[in-house]
Amino acid sequence: MKNCSNFANNIVISIIISFISITYVYGQVPIENDSIIDSEDFDIIDMESTLIEEKKDATSWVSDMFSAMRLGIQYGFTYKVEKPDKIMNNRLSFRLEYSKSFMDYLSLHIDTKMFTFLKNDHRIRDNKDIAFEGRTREAYLQTSFNETSIKAGIQIVVWGESDYAIVTNEIGRLDYREPLSLNMDDLRIGQPMITVDQYSSLGYWSAFFVPYPEFNEQPRKGTGYYYNPFDGRVEYLKEKQKGNFFEYGLRWRKTYGKSDVSIMAASLIDNQYALRMVTPDLIAKSKQRFFMAGITLNRAISNLLVRGEVALKSRKAYNDASFQIVKKNALDASLGVDYSPNSTFTLSMEAVNYHIMDWSDQIQGMPRNNYTFLMALSKQLMKNDLSFSWASMYNGPYTNFFNVLSASYNWNDHITLNFDALIPIVDDNRSGFYPYRNQKQIAFRVLYQL
């Protein structure tokens, strides 16, 4: 946040300096063409020429800076319509996107947001009327030479093909403080890392290194989605652990006509802390490493796009009946189809299964197979200015349904209006969605982009 503040201050100072320079140039007294020019007049002409050039340089610099910048201001309002009804979201967000190249081989990319939570927003705690929070999605430097690209800084790495499920895309952490969102792009949070991309005739290689992995964000105590399975009867502590906890991985990808395939392997720290009961009143949280090997495949067939992915995850952490950690291998897979008969209509279907190998009934809270079926429709109208979408998700064996109806309208080149209706249907108290069973909501957002 301090860096963002310094960046904003530098922008303001630059604008003021440019304004002063422009005002100073326009304040010069013009020279009459029919006057006799002496040596002092040459000095005046040289000074004016210099000031005009400085003016051009200053205005050009400011113009280049703003052309590389994109600003967005969004207001969002969400109302829980199921009793007890109440406001859930009442907030402003300010988004800055900046992308600029320097010296032909270096570029800077920034994507950051500042949130202002207004009265009654569920993220406000301690009975305050307003709260602020910032989140940087990406902020990295990139250099490229020949067929190699290197990035260093806060990044998001997406390896998977699914729009909704996490199969091979285990690298990035997610923000579950808004748990009813199905938009994976909104859920993803960047973290500091180094990535290297190499393009060659043999395929596209990408590698990453995360020196200090971070974890998923969960609803915090005092917010609208906070849920404590122990009803506040236990305390949590982080275990002191020795060893290294960095992450690294490598992926190879190759395109063959209308198909592409990728193979990947990575050593990762689970994005969720593993929990272990120390005493009935104390739960320890620890970092747990696992290894992943996966493959993804895309194939375009006429108006169909078939996509799938499979991942073997070795030594993932689960809990047994005594709430101690047990390690099991997992095999996760997804298969999806997108059908687009024209440029304005898309039908998507996807099936996902999370399978625990060597499962026994001693494992608590996780079934042998956790499966999801999803169907989504999207339609664009009025020269693509108006769009409607419907997504319906079924999850088992602990049955729940989650439905989202969305509409978006581009009012003009700068203003976009959005409407969402969220309808969770949950009866089984073993379902992960059970805490949100009474969260039927309607949401409205207006976005203004410069």
Evaluate whether residue 403 is within a structural domain. Answer: yes
Of 18, 39, 67, the residue at which a domain comes to its end is 67
Instruction: Quickly list DSSP for 251-320.
Output: EEEEEETTEEEEEEEEEEE-SS-EEEEEETTEEEEE--EEEEEEEEEEEEETTEEEEEEEEEEEEEEEE-
How many CB atoms within 10 Å of residue 301?
10
Residue ranges of the chain whose pLDDT lies below 70: 1-66
pTM of the full predicted structure?
0.83
Q: Would you state the pLDDT for residue 19? A: 37
Evaluate whether residue 90 is within a structural domain. Answer: no
Q: Would you state the pLDDT for residue 42? A: 44
Total domains in the chain come to 2
Evaluate whether residue 43 is within a structural domain. Answer: yes
Evaluate whether residue 51 is within a structural domain. Answer: yes
Q: Would you state the pLDDT for residue 185? A: 79
Of 12, 32, 67, the residue at which a domain comes to its end is 67
Determine the 3-state secondary structure of 1 from DSSP.
coil
Per-residue pLDDT of 20-52, as tens digits, reads: 333 333 333 333 344 444 444 445 556 555 555
- Maximum Cα–Cα distance for the chain, whole Å? 103
Of 26, 51, 67, the residue at which a domain comes to its end is 67
Evaluate whether residue 284 is within a structural domain. Answer: no
* Contact between residue 402 and residue 423 where contact means Cβ atoms under 8 Å apart: yes
Q: Would you state the pLDDT for residue 22? A: 36
Which strands, in side-by-side order, build the sheet including 274-279? 235-238, 282-286, 274-279
Encoded tokens for 294:
């996966």
Helical pair 39-67 and 2-26, crossing angle rounded to 10 deg: 150
CA 112 to each of CA 8, 99, 297, 381: distance values in angstroms, whole numbers, following the listed order: 12, 12, 32, 31
Q: Would you state the pLDDT for residue 30? A: 36
| 233: phi then psi, degrees, rounded to nearest 5 | -90, -5
Range of the domain at 442: 385-391+398-450
Evaluate whether residue 22 is within a structural domain. Answer: yes
Evaluate whether residue 177 is within a structural domain. Answer: no
d(Cα 153, Cα 433) in Å, to the nearest integer?
34
Encoded tokens for 17:
């300096």
Q: Would you state the pLDDT for residue 184? A: 78
Distance from first CA to last CA of the chain, Å, rounded? 22
Q: Which residues contact 292 (CB under 8 A, 6 or more apart)?
A: 168, 170, 249, 264, 265, 266, 268, 311, 312, 313, 314
Determine the 3-state secondary structure of 371 from DSSP.
strand
Determine the 3-state secondary structure of 365 from DSSP.
coil
* Contact between residue 205 and residue 254 where contact means Cβ atoms under 8 Å apart: no
Evaluate whether residue 276 is within a structural domain. Answer: no
Residue 117: which H helix or E strand, with range? strand 106-117
